[in-house]
Amino acid sequence: MIDTFFPPDLSPAYLRALLVPVAQTIGMASAGMLVAFALGVPLAVLIGTRAPGHRFIIGALSSLRAIPDLTLAILAVVVVGLGPAAGIVALALFYTAMIGRVYGDLFLAADGAPLEALRATGAPRAAIAAFGLIPLTQSDLLTFGTYAFECAMRASIVVGAVGGGGIGTELVGALNALDYHRSLTLILVLVVLVAAVDTFGILARRTPRLVLLLLPLGIVSLWLNPPVLFAFGHAIHTFAGMFPPQLRPAQIVSLPLLIAQTLAIAIGGTLLGALLAFPVSLAAARRLAPLGVVLAIRRALDVVRAIPELVFGLMLVVTVGIGPLAGALALGIHSAGVLGKLYAESFENVPRAPVDALAATGARALPIVAFGFVPLALGPLVVHTLFRLEWNVRAATVVGLIGAGGIGQALFQAQQLFFYKQMLAYVLVTWALVALADWLGERLRLRLGWHFVAG
């Protein structure tokens, strides 16, 4: 069935027509990140300098982060109206929470002695940030910032799918029109775009000044798509109309089933991802496979990671039909891309001596993996998988959109039918579910001795 997508439509006319949506997608990501940095960094400084109320800020950002980007986008479309402005609002909110939280953590973990010296001079918070916190954590800030931008580019396609504009909107349109050749073109454009951001990230880590390029991009995009003050009254009215959140008794009865479906998609997807990722990661680890094989597999994993779960979901619905299976498969394939890379890196990082000792007994390759690499890397392997499960609970609500079932589907249907009170109720349930998963995951990871793993 997958061959229905081939060949992609690469006609010059269509590619020319794609310039606007591509620009919109890049614009949404840049503008969203610009706002996210503008709001997130000062919040992170307040957290990092332990300002009064910093615990409240941490709590608020964590709560905001627990609302999946797509759910925020649905809310934004309802309040702000269709188009890139809604996408920008959703991305700005989601990434403000992410930047604020993670940068705050990095600032809190920064070396205390130089900061103590700065504080002793009576410097204000902004000066402590400029002369202490930011230079001390610069490389981590850049690494995470470019990673967040990469995520924002993917997310900007996802929020497009609910009417936020850009490639996402085009892709949903093409799939709904059963135009699979153009769908494939759009997916290829997406892969190229994410690869470009990835390359940009590598360059920016070498030449941090490149990050300033985002400034004009973001400003132009904000200028062209101002988040909609023309309908401010309408936005307030619509938002007020969501209160109080409400569900009918029959819907309340079916809630446990929806939650179970969402969790099943998340767990199934994570398991599938881990099962696929394990053998692949062995071939992607420099200490286990020849360099040529490693590079080829890594490239393939990059492509799989570049395609968001939602896009896999949209493609799979065509082949396996709607339902939780499509959702779990979509999460599984994307997770395999992420976990394959992380597992491979874990294998590359195991200590040499025990593995050399096993090789010195004349053991074959697979027994060395089973007796050495796997037990030695077990901690990181488990933590990466748990982190992915945590993420997949969020993603499982997102793939609900394409008819995978669960809370996400109920939420999207309520929005499509303008039942905003119901929609808000489902948003709250989603939020609670994701927040609970995050909290449990964080406790479990702390217990295992790993606080933060990017992935």
Partner 1 sequence: MLEVRGVRVAYGPHAPPALDGVSLDVAAGECVALVGPSGSGKTTLLRSINGTVPLAAGSVRVDGVEVAGLRGRELRRLRARLAMIAQQHDLVDRLTVAQNVMAGALGRWSTLHALRFLVLPSAAELAEARAALASVGIAEKLRARTSELSGGQQQRVAIARALVQHPVAILADEPIASVDPALGEQIVALLCDLAHERRIALLCSLHQPELARRYFDRVAELVGGRVRSDRRTERASLVRRGYAG
List residues near partner 1 by CB under 8 A: 351, 353-354, 356-364, 366-368, 370-372, 375-376, 378
The angle formed by the CA atoms of residues 219, 223 and 228, to the nearest 5 degrees, is: 125
Q: Which two tokens stand for residue 139?
A: 């490389």
CB 256 to partner 1: min, Å: 37
Of 78 and 350, nearer to partner 1 (C-beta) is 350
CB 359 to partner 1: min, Å: 8
CB 107 to partner 1: min, Å: 34
CB 277 to partner 1: min, Å: 19
Of 113 and 353, nearer to partner 1 (C-beta) is 353
Are 420 and 242 a contacting pair, CB within 8 Å?
yes
Of 5 and 450, nearer to partner 1 (C-beta) is 450
Of 212 and 360, nearer to partner 1 (C-beta) is 360
Q: For residue 81, how many C-alpha atoms fall within 13 Å in the half-sphere facing its CB?
A: 14
Of 202 and 353, nearer to partner 1 (C-beta) is 353
Of 371 and 431, nearer to partner 1 (C-beta) is 371
Cis peptide before 380 (omega within 30 of 0): no
Reference 50, options 115, 141, 94, 113; nearest CA is: 115
Q: d(Cα 58, Cα 54) in Å, to the nearest integer? A: 6
- Strands, E assignment, 72-182: none
Of 218 and 372, nearer to partner 1 (C-beta) is 372
SS3 430: helix
- Residues whose CB is less than 8 angstroms from the CB of residue 64 and which lie 6 or more positions away in sequence, other chains included: 93, 94, 96, 97
Reference 310, options 388, 395, 391, 387; nearest CA is: 395
CB 295 to partner 1: min, Å: 24
Q: For residue 52, how many C-alpha atoms fall within 13 Å in the half-sphere facing its CB?
A: 0
CB 362 to partner 1: min, Å: 3
CB 336 to partner 1: min, Å: 23
CB 368 to partner 1: min, Å: 8
Of 147 and 371, nearer to partner 1 (C-beta) is 371
CB 223 to partner 1: min, Å: 56
CB 440 to partner 1: min, Å: 24
Any idea which residue has 């997102």 for tokens? 398
Of 38 and 357, nearer to partner 1 (C-beta) is 357
Reference 5, options 170, 192, 179, 158; nearest CA is: 179
Cis peptide before 7 (omega within 30 of 0): yes
Are 95 and 167 a contacting pair, CB within 8 Å?
no
SS3 386: helix
35 backbone dihedrals φ, ψ, rounded to 5°: -65, -40
The amino acid sitting at 244 is: P
Of 245 and 354, nearer to partner 1 (C-beta) is 354
Query: Crossing angle of helices 84-108/19-48, nearest 10°?
Result: 30
Reference 298, options 277, 316, 312; nearest CA is: 277
